[in-house]
Amino acid sequence: MPPKTETADRDAVYFPTLAAERLDIALCRASSAVARAAEARASESGIGVGPHLVLKMLAEVGPSSQRVLSDQLRIDRSVMVGICDGLEQAGHVRRERDAGDRRAYAVTITDLGRRLLARAEAAVPAFLDDTFKDLTPGERDVLSALLGKLLRLEP
């Protein structure tokens, strides 16, 4: 059995090789790292990434059903129920009957929710700067454009 340091060195070299060969693996790993960093930073502002995204969408597009929120934000519907429940209990959103479909509920952001969103949004630029500090502004623009292309491929 090789010494521990030799094994650690070999393992440290393998992933960059794998990532260079398998862009899908590299993208998944990078996505996981950014998601963990986003959740850690979001918890500092008192709102998780999922609730933050829900409030942001509601503020930008107006009242939406949980189904629409789930579909647009790519959050599983069962998870979305929990997010909306938590936001409603905290007074950040309210659910009202959807005027267009009496079977559905429209989720609406409240003034309290708008204040929470503003505090959370204020922390985003520093988070992005910290997370992508190894990229130049031009590289960040290219990454954004490339990710945009990939996301347009989604069904």
- The model carries a pTM of 0.79
- Give ∠ CA 88-94-99 in degrees, rounded to 5: 145
In the chain, domain spans: 1-45, 47-120, 123-155
- SS3 at position 65: strand
- The architecture in CATH of the region 47-120 reads Orthogonal Bundle (1.10)
Give the closest residue to 58 by CA, choosing from 93, 86, 90: 93
**Residue 108 in this model has a pLDDT that exceeds 80:** yes
The 10s digit of each residue's pLDDT in 18-50 is 878 888 888 998 999 999 999 888 878 789 999
pLDDT digits (tens, 9 = 90+) for 136-145: 999 999 999 9
> What is the per-residue pLDDT across 114-131, written as a single tens digit (0 to 9) for each?
999 999 999 899 999 999
User: Distance of CA 51 to CAs 29, 58, 65, 81, 111, Å?
Assistant: 23, 11, 15, 11, 15
pLDDT of residue 110: 98
